[in-house]
A and B are shown apart, each in its own frame.
Chain A
């Protein structure tokens, strides 16, 4: 596990690609600041969400979680570690400066109450083991260096043996698996918190600190009889497509509140595919949204 904020995330992108390629379980925390470049050290931002998804070159999938409280940071880092072991994939904890510096009560359970996903070591002997051969769940089993398996691991496109092969067939098989091992588990990776969504006609879509700033706007609009709810993805990548697609034929509008000029907003638009209205409440970072702006967007949405 390693922790950074913005520039460090950019600097080490190449190695996130290596971790994706080698299928190395790891957790990377990015406490987002305003950017680009050095930007706003120790002031909030949420503008690295697309970088988290696409930052290293090539095609791959990662998992990203976005906690919005200290308690959830505690829980999500454990969950991130577990998911990284289960899927052998880098898991990114995409929080922001506000949540990062926030002081709130955190309940820490006894160590034996914390569920940990054990690393998946192979039971096969060295002569039968192939380091990148996966079963039905598309996730290969691991070995430890020094146990006599004499494995080879490379960032080059490789076959099941782990040996480099420069061919489109091997590339196709490998990259498809790296992508599919996450995409085919998208349903079980859905983690969404719903607030007053039962009768909602307007859906606020927001995560991290921004989701908390939406609450006063939601309450004010509810006070005026507007049926508005909040959808908060706790796992942002893979994107909760299914949920957004389901809702897009039922609701009047999505109001996306994020501290950037449109990142997950474009994912919402993609899933909505013109079936309903989408509004973005953007923010350049450095401070949280004014709830009044969110309220105004809700009013605009129900017009």
Chain B
């Protein structure tokens, strides 16, 4: 007699990310094969590896596809205005320096409309971690050219191909003074999670770029296949090069993508510099600001 194997459902256990997600908001709005969900999963992994209690971690997003991350993560989370996630995060951090403030947003939000805030927060070495999902396009609004669109790529506003030189985001962040700079793709989930944890544990302005597939808008317009095809592309074309000169990190259209950790250095944060300087100038008259960290 043939033995029948009745598959006993394993005891229902909690989804590994359940404690960190607002399950009552799932399913999320992202398209199938979008890379943002993968970036969020890596973030959830990273949160398990950081030195801060989770109730002290805040997430701030701007507007756009990645801007929705704040709405799914079960921490104090803030969905602000377009481009203004960094100033919002700056306010949060300065109002309560005990918080670990993470900005999670997209390339259009952080490097396009919010580019000014990005460079100044890096310059000041504001103690926040910035995770920038780069899908090379303004996806939510219909695929307009972005500050990160590779040369020659087609977008809804560059039907004959993009002719504007895009930003090299790690170089931008590094040259403005970021103390931690890394880039990974949505394929490099473990390395990405490790980098995110390092970035959050780092004191000062940390920046992690996450190259992500956008199959609905970017890949479709450029006939690059599905999200899976883009993951295959990342697999075949990513080159891990820790400590690479950030000047050499330009992303050319469908060419190799250099990934890795490029910068990890020390520099006084905004609040450290503020406290040190005013202590020097005002001596005993000055009361240092910054809560228990000071």
Q: List chain A positions with a Cβ less than 8 A from chain B.
A: 14-15, 18, 144-156, 163-164
Give the residue of A18, A144, A150, A151 whose beta carbon is less than 8 angstroms from that of B81.
A18
Total B residues in contact with A, Cβ cutoff 8 Å: 22
Q: Are A146 and B98 in contact (CB under 8 A)?
A: yes
Q: Are A146 and B76 in contact (CB under 8 A)?
A: yes
Most chain B CB within a 10 A radius of its CB, from A147, A148, A149, A150: A150
Mark the stretch among B30-38, B67-75, B234-242, B257-265 that contacts chain A: B67-75
Dominant SS at the A interface? loop
Q: Are B77 and A146 in contact (CB under 8 A)?
A: no
A-B contact pairs, 24 of them (CB 8 A): A14-B81, A145-B58, A145-B92, A145-B96, A146-B55, A146-B76, A149-B76, A150-B55, A150-B74, A150-B76, A150-B77, A152-B70, A152-B77, A152-B78, A153-B77, A153-B78, A153-B79, A154-B78, A154-B79, A155-B80, A155-B81, A163-B22, A163-B24, A164-B79
A196 to chain B, nearest CB (A): 46
Assembled-state Cα–Cα distance A144/B80 (Å): 17
Instruction: Tell me, yes or no, whether B251 is within 8 Å of chain A by CB.
Output: no
A271 to chain B, nearest CB (A): 34
Q: List chain B positions with a Cβ less than 8 A from chain A.
A: 22, 24-25, 55-56, 58, 70-71, 74-82, 84, 92, 96, 98-99
CB-CB under 8 A from A149, the residues of chain B are 76
Chain A residue nearest to B98 in the complex (CB):
A146
CB-CB under 8 A from B70, the residues of chain A are 152, 154
B65 to chain A, nearest CB (A): 14
Q: Are A15 and B81 in contact (CB under 8 A)?
A: yes
Q: Which 10 A-B pairs have the closest CB atoms?
A: A154-B79, A148-B55, A145-B76, A152-B77, A153-B78, A146-B99, A146-B56, A18-B81, A145-B58, A14-B81
Q: A144-B96, A146-B55, A146-B96 are in contact. Are A156 and B25 (CB under 8 A)?
A: no
CB-CB under 8 A from A153, the residues of chain B are 77-79
CB-CB under 8 A from A155, the residues of chain B are 79-81
Chain B residue nearest to A149 in the complex (CB):
B76
Assembled-state Cα–Cα distance A166/B111 (Å): 28
CB-CB under 8 A from B92, the residues of chain A are 145
Assembled-state Cα–Cα distance A150/B84 (Å): 21
A21 to chain B, nearest CB (A): 10
